[in-house]
Amino acid sequence: MNSESKPVVTRFAPSPTGFMHVGSVRTALFAWLFAKKNNGTFILRIEDTDKEREVEGSIEHIIKSLKWLGITWQEGPDIGGPHGPYIQSQRLESYKKYAQILVDKGLAYADPYTKEQLDEFRKKSEESKKPFLYREYRPENPPAWDGTQPLRIKAEVKSHAWTDLVRGELTAGEEAIDDFILIKSDGYPTYNFAHIIDDLEMGVTHILRADEFISSTPKFLSVYDALGIDRPAFATLPPIMGPDGKKKLGKRDGAKDVLDYKNEGVLPEAMMNFLALIGWNPGTEQEVFSQEDLIKTFDISKIQVSGGKFNEEKLKWFNKEYITMLPKETVIAEVKKRLDAKKELSQDMLEKITPIILERIHTFGEISAMIETGEIDYVFAAPEYKTEMLYWKGTVDTDATSRRLQKVIELIETVDENNFKKDIIKDALWNYATEEGKGEVLWPTRVSLSGKDKSPDPFVLAELLGKEETIIRLKRALEKVAHVS
């Protein structure tokens, strides 16, 4: 085997069985990064030989998900290429050809048994407390293979040793060897056989895949040996664990469709950066990597053996980092898109509310949630609130509250409306607030402007609303208090 000197070819080979969860995407990402890093070729291949598990629309979904992340391929079902087709169900002739080679070599045979006979064999093994191995019942004179019976490999019974670029030297004993099915009676190959033929014909040099395939590797090795072909290099990726690091990622912790994250407003750059660091790290403190950085730094030897944690909080952290790096206009456009659903705001208001919103979110999707909870209702209209809210610490003190609001209005009147900035507004109010009591003055001011017990401070709110609206809302509060007394 000498896969090192050949140009690198990797592939991502999903089965179209539903949505693309983050684990699959991470596999695609690592295989892509490795190809990019080595100026190699990255292939997308669809493994659809299990027709019963197929879910309609999956291929489009896979393509959409990868494209969203920015993962690109040089060969694939949508763009073709020199080794096509790239969908297994369209490659049946290739599998037949190699199956026939094995039949001719005497290394594959038609399975002559009925289901009942097989059940009988299984029962026998059970009774003798031995694991059932098909190879112990190899027929002496198998019928000619006409495609209606399953075709099984006649596996060489021996132990295997192989190198895994992540896990090192691995071995498996004879007990792992059996005569498994290469071609099913429906004419479709099994995964165990098909992927090997595809990798061979497509010139794949490195297979990066999930750890669930490691126990099947002895089977794969039986096929490489029987065909007398070189094995590609194997790299087994670590499992993705839930945030506690104890069990594999479940739906509850975020093993969801990667496009759900898109819909939640996660940026593809953040997702890529986040996924790249699950089970891999360059051994430095660096966390934020652009796509080019990742390609430059990616190194198979730094992939961990043990599981990598999937922590949605960390994804949010990355997303915030990436939002901060976006051009201002892009951010405003994203904010606008969501606020417009409630009410169209002026450009001036949008520019002012954007930094306030950004402080409070990790994804753009959270803006919609903010609107739904009413958290930023004060942006769209003068707030509705109970008069009692205006009293500091709930102490009903109408005279004092009126007096303070009145004073605040007076002080705000002194601020130039063309320079109505939070620092200047603060300067105008600060002395008075310090003398009278900060809570006593700033609390009713803030409630007048936002109608909320939690909101940005009153100076920020005043700048956001502008002088005219600030005074209108303060006067409204004053009237509410007066009305009560």
Binding site for ligand GLU (CB under 6 A): 13-15, 47, 191, 195, 209, 213
Smallest distance, Å, CB 375 to ligand GLU?
42
Residue (21 or 404) nearer to ligand GLU, CB: 21
Residue (217 or 445) nearer to ligand GLU, CB: 217
For the chain, the first-to-last Cα distance in angstroms comes to: 91
Catalytic residue numbers read: 251
Residue (189 or 456) nearer to ligand GLU, CB: 189
Smallest distance, Å, CB 195 to ligand GLU?
5
Smallest distance, Å, CB 342 to ligand GLU?
42
> HSE on the CB side for 53, CA within 13 Å?
11
Smallest distance, Å, CB 54 to ligand GLU?
12
Question: Cis link prior to 85 (omega < 30° from 0)?
Answer: yes
Smallest distance, Å, CB 13 to ligand GLU?
4
Q: Are 47 and 194 in contact (CB under 8 A)?
A: yes
Q: Give strand ranges (E) for 151-205.
A: 151-153, 160-164, 168-172, 181-183
What is the C-alpha separation between 395 and 390, in angstroms, rounded? 9
Residue 11 three-state SS: strand
Q: Are 259 and 64 in contact (CB under 8 A)?
A: yes
CA-based radius of gyration for the chain: 33
Smallest distance, Å, CB 76 to ligand GLU?
14
Instruction: Give the Å distances, CA to CA, from 28 to 58, 217, 314, 401, 479.
Output: 16, 20, 21, 63, 63
Q: Are 371 and 339 in contact (CB under 8 A)?
A: yes
**Region of residue 154 (left: phi > 0; alpha: psi -120 to 50; beta: else):** beta
Q: Are 272 and 290 in contact (CB under 8 A)?
A: no
> For residue 128, what are the contacts with CB-CB under 8 A and spacing of at least 6?
none
Residue (15 or 273) nearer to ligand GLU, CB: 15
Residue (108 or 237) nearer to ligand GLU, CB: 237
Q: How far is CA 211 from the centre of its chain?
A: 18
Closest CA to 351 of 266, 468, 463: 463
Smallest distance, Å, CB 161 to ligand GLU?
20
**Tokens found for residue 154:** 């006649």
Residue (50 or 469) nearer to ligand GLU, CB: 50
Residue (214 or 326) nearer to ligand GLU, CB: 214
